[in-house]
Amino acid sequence: MKTIKAKKITAEAFAPYGQFYPMDKPTGYALKGEIHRFFPDRLTVSSNTELGFSTIIVEKPEEMKITAVEYHTTTPELIMPLNDDMIVHVAPASAGTPVTDLTEAFIVPKNTLIKINTAIWHLAPLPANKDELVAAIILPVCTYANDCTVVDLKEEEYFIIEGM
């Protein structure tokens, strides 16, 4: 079974899959008022429908063995870990057939918003350190019911993720 080492997320390494921004450590030009600094539009997403702001709670498994993956054909997915760093695995878009041999895993710092591009293979984020991860998920309303293709992997496609 293939083992994938999770690596620290960088803009260059994550670029084929999406973008990220540390929401608790804003950088760049800010619009300033008397008592505030506003850092607009650090990540953007287009949607023709309402966006849903959801919470996911994921228990840390004894072994990070991945046996299924998913993608969305019409929307990117935004995820932000709230109580811990998280591990995400991603693989290139591939017309509905998983390409687990191209999967990469990234460690995303707490309070960093990531955008996983449309059609990129992924699944639930995993806790990097704590027993349970709490994360925010932002998707168009009902994406989980209307645009979520989950594929159970064949045993030979399973992979294990190791932290840093």
Residues 6+ apart with CB under 8 A from 158: 1, 2, 65, 66, 67, 100
Residue 147: its pLDDT value, please? 95
pLDDT in tens, 99-121: 999 999 999 999 999 999 999 99
pLDDT of residue 148: 96
Q: Which domain holds residue 75?
A: 2-162
Outline where DSSP puts E strands in 51-109.
51-59, 64-66, 68-71, 77-81, 86-90, 104-108
Longest dimension (CA), the chain: 59
Mean pLDDT of 19-26: 96
- Percent over 90 (pLDDT), the chain: 95
The label of the residue with tokens 């870990």 reads 81
Domain total in the chain: 1
Q: Where does the pLDDT of residue 163 fall: very low under 50, low under 70, confident under 90, or very high at 90 and above?
A: confident
Cα–Cα dist 80/54, whole Å: 11
Q: What is the CATH number of the domain that holds 114?
A: 2.60.120.480
pLDDT value at position 47? 86
Q: How far is CA 25 from CA 39, 42, 113, 123, 157, in A?
A: 10, 12, 11, 26, 37
Q: How confident is the model at residue 35 (pLDDT cuts 50, 70, 90)?
A: very high
Whether 41 shows a pLDDT value over 90: the answer reads: yes
Residue 164 has pLDDT above 80, yes or no: no
Whole-angstrom distance, CA of residue 66 vs CA of residue 159: 5
Q: Report pLDDT for 108.
A: 98
